[in-house]
Amino acid sequence: MREKLDEQIQGGRTQLVVDLTDVTFLDSTGLGVLVGRLKLTRTRGGSMRLVGTDDRVLKVFSITGLDKVFEIHPTLDAALAASAAGASAPGEGS
């Protein structure tokens, strides 16, 4: 995941949507990658939105407070619409 996100960021893309729909387990390493890439995109004037519905994964974001940092959307369409609008605040759509 880190490699793919870095490729996108180095390619000049800073409005990222990460689809975690098929992810059923996320540990501190995965969280660290996401937080690091979020910081990197923000320093370049960008954003990162997540897509996810798995209760266990969403609980990890909630427990760590990262649900207040990331925009987490229930569908890819919702995340893309928010990305296009650029107006949603972190934590909305979760």
Residue 9 lies in a domain: yes
What is the C-alpha to C-alpha distance for residues 39 and 53, in angstroms, rounded to an integer? 23
Q: What is the pLDDT of residue 85?
A: 81
For the cut 60, the answer to whether the pLDDT of residue 68 exceeds it is yes
How much of the chain exceeds pLDDT 90, in percent? 85
Mean pLDDT of 22-41: 96
Residue 91 maps to a domain: no
How much is the pLDDT for 89? 45
CATH number at residue 55: 3.30.750.24
Would you say 60 and 29 are in contact if contact means Cβ atoms under 8 Å apart? no
What is the span of the domain harbouring residue 41?
2-85
Mean pLDDT of the chain: 90
DSSP state of 70: S
